[in-house]
A and B are shown apart, each in its own frame.
Chain A
Amino acid sequence: MEHTEHLEHTETPSDMKSQIWKTFWILLGFTVVDIVLYFVLLSTHAMWKNWVFIILGVVKAYYIVGVFMHMKFERKALMYTIVLPMVFVIFFVALMLIEGDFTNILRWLK
């Protein structure tokens, strides 16, 4: 049966469990950092501030997809099939934020 394939884990159960809890504390920590940064940077209106939050989001995404969704331990081919398209989406996000800024300028120019 092909299902026997996914039983080929190298980690022992206690290893996996400690890794899960470690990831949980990392995610919790980054969320707290997010909220603290929000209030620290409340009066800042620069574009880099948004990139700080987006990058923190991507870091959290790395831990969720990598450990919780087990992507770190899958074949490279599967990893690139799923992850690579999302890299282009981040590029798209950057383009549209810049475009929105220009629309803003045009709106208040009249």
Chain B
Amino acid sequence: MATNTLTTNTKFTWGGGKSPFSVSYGKLMMWIFLLSDAFTFSSLLIAYGFIRYSFLEPIRNTIVKPFDHLSHEFVREMGEKGLFVKEHWPSPELVFNHFPFIHGVHLPLFFVSLMTFILIFSSVTMVLAVEAGHRMAKDEVSKYMFLTIIGGAAFLGCQAWEWTTFIGEGATLHGNPFGPTSFAALFFIVTGFHGFHVFSGVMLNVIIYFNVLAGTYEKRGHYEMVEKVGLYWHFVDLVWVFVFTFFYLI
């Protein structure tokens, strides 16, 4: 009987006694968690798509060109010219056209592109940390983890600046000088939810970074913890790809 069980175990993938997915339980659970989190983000973005399409399409901007002068009364002027009205969804290039330290210049989507590059780059340093972990190269893992944390913090700083600018122009959860109220409300809810994920990711990365420095994974014999937080970090980047697509491009 005992031998019978043993043959069953080796013969069938799902017979028990080993991982049918050939990954550790921690990694599998991280994947399942990310799938459930993907559902949450999908529902937010689907709601965005639905509400966006229940309004009329943005009015085409023929007045302001990139690098044009941007007055302090820009939002009010555009409203008077009929580009920001309650019935039409606003054109993202007219809403997100500021850049830190550069005043009075129309720079459509420049800043949000920079944010995207920062996040993609921090994803690369994360995967380089994972790769170094496979080689048990402690110094390299800590170097790349540190760069990832810097990237995440830079992204959060950018988002804080973006929010401050947007709020400064009069956007709130219940009011929006650019047009439909739901535009601002959805922006704060979705980018806020994503920003919270980035914040959690930076915190996790900091914890793992200190563990790497302390030699915890060196003693354990593998750097799988770095891989697990890496999965989470790439997911945050992945969500940004879609937030970027839906909010700024569509």
Contacts and interface: CB of A to CB of B under 8 A. Distances in A.
Interface of A: 1-3, 5-7, 9, 13, 16-17, 20-21, 23-24, 27-28, 31, 34-35, 37-39, 42-43, 45, 50, 53-54, 56-57, 60-61, 64-65, 67-70, 74-75, 77-78, 81-82, 85-86, 89, 92-93, 96-97, 99-101, 103-104, 107-108
Interface in B190-218: none
A93 B49 contact: yes
Contact of B241 (A24, A60, A67): A60
Contacts of B250: 50, 53-54
Interface in B82-118: 87, 91, 93, 108-109, 113, 116-117
Contacts of B39: 85, 89
Contacts of B87: 108
A53 B124 contact: no
Contacts of A27: 120
Contacts of A7: 134, 222
Contacts, number: 162
Given A57-B241, A64-B241, A100 B109 contact: no
Contact of A78 (B23, B45, B60): B23
Contact of B113 (A17, A35, A61): A35
Contacts of A5: 19, 22-24
Given A13-B134, A82-B31, A53 B128 contact: no
Contacts of B126: 68
B22 A57 contact: no
B231 to A, nearest CB: 6
Interface in B1-60: 13, 18-24, 27-28, 31, 34-35, 38-39, 42, 45-47, 49-58, 60
Determine which residue in B60, B121, B245 has the highest number of CB atoms from chain A within 10 A of its CB, and name it. Answer: B245
Given A6-B222, A17-B128, A89-B38, 8 more contacts: A28-B120, A31-B117, A69-B231, A77-B13, A78-B23, A89-B46, A93-B49, A104-B55
Contact of A31 (B20, B52, B54, B113): B113
Contact of B60 (A23, A31, A42, A54): A42
B249 A53 contact: yes
A109 B76 CA distance: 29
Given A42-B93, A89-B42, A107 B21 contact: no
A108 B128 CA distance: 53
Contact of B20 (A2, A53, A77, A93): A77
Contacts of B245: 34, 53-54, 56-57
Contact of B124 (A20, A38, A42, A96): A20
B135 interface: yes
Closest 6 CB pairs of A and B: A100-B53, A103-B54, A100-B50, A78-B21, A57-B245, A45-B57
